[in-house]
Structure 1
Amino acid sequence: MSRQFFRDPLFHFIAIGLLLFSLDALFAGRGADRGEIVVSQKRIDHLAAVFQRGWQRPPSTAELRDLVDNYIREEVLYREALNLGLDRDDTVIRRRLQMKMEFLAGDLVDAVEPDDETLRRYFADHVDRYRQPAQFSFRQVYFGPDAGAERVRKALAQLREGLPAEGIGDSTLLQHHYRGETGERLARLFGEGFSDRLRELPAGEWRGPVESAYGAHLVKIGEHRRERTAAFAAVRQRVLRDWQRDEKQKILQAQFDTYRSNYSVRIEGEPEPAAGGVAMQ
Structure 2
Amino acid sequence: MRKILKEPLLIFLLLAGSMFVLFQQASNDYQSDNAEIVVTEMQIKALSLGYEKVWQRSPNEKEVAGLIQNYIREEVLYREALAMGLDKGDSVVRRRLHQKMEFLSEDIASLDEPTEQELQAYLLANQEAYRQPARFSFRQVYLSVSKRGQSSQADAVALLAKLEKEDGNAATLGDSLMVNHQFNLATAQEIERVLGREFLQSLNETPTDNWQGPLSSGFGLHLVRIDKRIESEAPGLDDVRKQVVRDWGSEKRKQTNETLYNNLRKRYKVIVQDRSNNTKSESAAKLSFNETKK
Q: TM-score, normalised by structure 1?
A: 0.79
SS for the counterpart of 1:197 is helix
User: Residue by residue, what CA displacement relative to the aligned partner does 1:200-258 show, whole Å, maximum 9, x if unpaired?
Assistant: 21111011110011111110011222232222221222222222122212110111112
1:199-214 to 2 correspondences below 5 Å: 199-214=204-219
Q: Do the aligned residues in 1 keep the contact of 2:132 with 2:234 (CA within 8 Å)? A: yes
CA distance, structure 2, for counterparts of residue 54 and residue 127 of structure 1: 42
SS for the counterpart of 1:105 is helix
C-alpha deviation, 1:170, in angstroms = 1.3
| Residue aligning to 2:251 | 246
CA distance, structure 1, for counterparts of residue 138 and residue 238 of structure 2: 28
Q: Which amino acid aligns with 2:219?
A: Y
Q: Which one of the candidate residues 175, 181, 185 is aligned to 2:180?
A: 175
Moved more, 223-232 or 196-205: 223-232
CA distance, structure 2, for counterparts of residue 212 and residue 227 of structure 1: 23
| Residue aligning to 1:232 | 237
How many residues of Structure 1 are paired with residues of Structure 2 in the alignment? 241
1:187-206 to 2 correspondences below 5 Å: 187-206=192-211
SS for the counterpart of 1:228 is coil
| Residue aligning to 2:8 | none
Q: Do the aligned residues in 2 keep the contact of 1:199 with 1:224 (CA within 8 Å)? A: no
User: Residue by residue, what CA displacement relative to the aligned partner does 1:164-200 show, whole Å, maximum 9, x if unpaired?
Assistant: 1121011122111112222222221111222110122
C-alpha deviation, 1:110, in angstroms = 2.8
C-alpha deviation, 1:53, in angstroms = 3.1
Q: Do the aligned residues in 2 keep the contact of 1:141 with 1:219 (CA within 8 Å)? A: yes
SS for the counterpart of 1:178 is strand
C-alpha deviation, 1:33, in angstroms = 5.2
C-alpha deviation, 1:158, in angstroms = 1.7
Matched, 1:132 2:135: no
| Residue aligning to 1:219 | 224
Q: Which runs of 5+ in 2 are unaligned?
A: 1-31, 282-294
CA distance, structure 2, for counterparts of residue 231 and residue 219 of structure 1: 32
Change (3 A) 1:212 1:266: same
User: Residue by residue, what CA displacement relative to the aligned partner does 1:248-270 show, whole Å, maximum 9, x if unpaired?
Assistant: 12110111112222222221224
C-alpha deviation, 1:100, in angstroms = 1.9
CA distance, structure 2, for counterparts of residue 70 and residue 95 of structure 1: 25
| Residue aligning to 2:156 | 152
SS for the counterpart of 1:193 is helix
SS for the counterpart of 1:195 is helix
Q: Do the aligned residues in 1 keep the contact of 2:140 with 2:225 (CA within 8 Å)? A: yes
* Percent of aligned pairs with the same amino acid: 37
Q: Do the aligned residues in 1 keep the contact of 2:144 with 2:221 (CA within 8 Å)? A: yes
Q: TM-score, normalised by structure 2?
A: 0.75
Change (3 A) 1:213 1:263: same
CA distance, structure 2, for counterparts of residue 131 and residue 56 of structure 1: 44
Q: Do the aligned residues in 2 keep the contact of 1:127 with 1:229 (CA within 8 Å)? A: yes
Q: Do the aligned residues in 1 keep the contact of 2:139 with 2:182 (CA within 8 Å)? A: yes
Moved more, 123-132 or 75-84: 123-132
Coordinate RMSD, CA, aligned: 2.1
CA distance, structure 2, for counterparts of residue 139 and residue 125 of structure 1: 37
CA distance, structure 2, for counterparts of residue 157 and residue 196 of structure 1: 23
CA distance, structure 1, for counterparts of residue 136 and residue 111 of structure 2: 40
Q: Which amino acid aligns with 1:75?
A: E
Q: Do the aligned residues in 2 keep the contact of 1:137 with 1:224 (CA within 8 Å)? A: yes
C-alpha deviation, 1:95, in angstroms = 1.3
Structure number with greater CO (CA < 8 Å, separation at least 6) is: 1
